[in-house]
Amino acid sequence: MSDLDAKTPRVFLARHGETEWTKTGQYTGSTDIELTEHGIKQVLSTGSQLVGPGKLIDPVRIAHVWVSPRIRARKTFDLLFRDNTNTNAKYPADSANGNGGQFLEGKVTVTEDIAEWDYGDYEGLLVGEIRAQRKKNGLDQETAWNIWRDGCEGGESAEQITQRLDRLISQIREIQQPCMNGQGPGDVVLVAHGLILRAFMKRWLGYSVDNPLPVMFSPGGIGMLSYKNRDIDEPGFYIGMSLPIQD
């Protein structure tokens, strides 16, 4: 990462740690499910290496954090920032302003805009079960179900996902546009879920949600988006990054 790139505002995507349904592959949208012990360790490991003063995600450089209301995301936010900002973070929903410590006070928003895709009738099901159910309902007789294209019965469509993510992206770019050359804190963090964060990445790059771009995102992982040439009109993503040099 060049010195110039390091000054360009970034968007960090933080996926919550493992849950029991992550392990089984069940679609987990609105269900409030806790992290497993392994999931907690995943997030703590990520936070200890990447979050903190002088690290990749430096609290003094953060302009705003958006957190999904689901407990697995709120717990992940807590674990990422609690021990890495020299303060005691709280679940953002536990305080009026969403307090993540002195560096994040007043900068945390808990919002459905970054909640997981609403799976509706498919909540808790496996892919095979969903496809069988849809065929029984007279759908997908010739083409297999694809959530990116077909959405969910009783849940959200790709168009609805696009609308709420585009609204959030507009807010982010409004914050970051004045900071393209390092003028003040411009980094933002999204703490959310695997599918919605992959959809966010597609929309960030200007692709439709149903674009077949294959993307993987491990539980407890961190992704990073930014801008090429420090230009608000050239959003991009990092396929690799160098970490800050520790003195």
Catalytic residue list: 16, 116
184: which 2 tokens?
Answer: 């003040």
Strands (E), the chain: 11-15, 62-67, 108-110, 187-192, 222-227, 235-237
Beta-strand pair 235-237/108-110: unpaired
DSSP string, 230-246: G-TT-EEE-S--PPPPP
At 72 the three-state DSSP class reads helix
* CA angle, 213 then 219 then 222, to 5°: 70
Report the C-alpha gap between 31 and 198 in whole angstroms. Answer: 19
Given a contact cutoff of 8 angstroms between Cβ atoms, the answer to whether 150 and 140 are in contact is: yes
29 known member of a binding site? yes
198 known member of a binding site? no
Residue identified by tokens 């679940």 is 91
Given a contact cutoff of 8 angstroms between Cβ atoms, the answer to whether 127 and 195 are in contact is: no
* CA angle, 239 then 243 then 244, to 5°: 145
Nearest to 80 by CA among 222, 193, 216, 176: 222
138 known member of a binding site? no
Residue identified by tokens 């002195």 is 102
Which residues are documented as binding site for substrate?
Answer: 28-29, 72
Which residues are documented as binding site? 28-29, 72
